[in-house]
Chain A
Amino acid sequence: MDKDEYKKLVKEFTPKENKLNKALIAFLVGGGLSFGGQVIVSILQITFGMELSSAYLWLCVITIFLASFLTALGFFDNLVSKSGCGLIIPTTGFAHSMTSSALDVKKDGLITGLGASFFKLAGSVLLYGIVSSFFLSILGVIIYG
């Protein structure tokens, strides 16, 4: 095999491997986060005698707090770019997008900056989530009664 052939092969395989790596990292990070979350839920249930549903709510608050806090400290952007969807799809991504856009637009003022652009990134989740589930609820009521 000569040099050119080798380079061709490398070119062919590198992006694929990267994609595999990224997918694996997303799986491990997302899975690890869920595993940790489940442990926290059990701890909340045992220590505070919470019901399962409120333990999930507290877990949601804890993840949002940590993601917001780490974003504000400046650690989270780096973590998100490394782990991709492993941190974007869990609730951490929602909190991260809000906090980072809030930090970005702070300099433009409390109303014209923070107020106007607070939902710049998280807004699409709210918009499409609310609109789609509104119509789905109506459909559900019609179908299931």
Chain B
Amino acid sequence: MIYFNAFVLGGLICLIGQLILDNTKLTPGHITSLFTVAGAFLSFLGIYPKLINWGGAGATMMISNFGNLLYQGGYEGFHNEEIIGIASGLLSKVSVAITMAIVFAFVFAIIFKPKD
């Protein structure tokens, strides 16, 4: 049942983050960076694609998927365009997330006023 798996996996990833946040001096900025790097490393080990197969959105919605997509982009880039493909392909899969986050953040920052 993919919906249940997504709930469990997404919940567990956030739970681990919360435990690190509460029991160490790391800030949310540290946690998100750490999870991104961890995602890239799990992807390197071949584990992250399996997590996506098992837990679906529970794995793809997390920031760790950012690292996963970066690694996959770089690795597949090599097979498409040889050595330069690592550089040209690295950002190809995360382009959606980066582009839309920048566009929405910019547009909303222009339209709305900050609330304190």
- Contact residues of A with B, CB < 8 Å? 19, 22-23, 25-35, 37-41, 56-57, 59-61, 63-65, 68-69, 71-74, 84-86, 88-91, 93-95, 97-99, 102-104, 106-107, 114, 118, 121-122, 124-130, 132-134, 136-141, 144
Q: Which residues of A contact B115 (CB under 8 A)?
A: 74
Question: Which one of B32, B94, B111, B113 contacts A89 once the chains associate, using CB atoms below 8 Å?
Answer: B32
Residue of B nearest to A77 (CB): B115
Q: Which residues of B contact A40 (CB under 8 A)?
A: 57
Q: Which residues of B contact A134 (CB under 8 A)?
A: 74, 86-87, 90
CB distance from A85 to the nearest CB of B (A): 4
B75 touches A141 (CB 8 A): yes
Q: Report the Cα distance A49→B28, complex, angstroms.
A: 37
A31 touches B104 (CB 8 A): no
Q: Report the Cα distance A104→B115, complex, angstroms.
A: 9
A60 touches B17 (CB 8 A): no
Question: Which one of B6, B31, B110 contacts A38 once the chains associate, using CB atoms below 8 Å?
Answer: B6
Q: Report the Cα distance A121→B16, complex, angstroms.
A: 21
CB distance from A105 to the nearest CB of B (A): 9
The residue among B18, B44, B86 with the most chain A CB atoms within 10 A of its own CB is: B18
A89 touches B31 (CB 8 A): yes
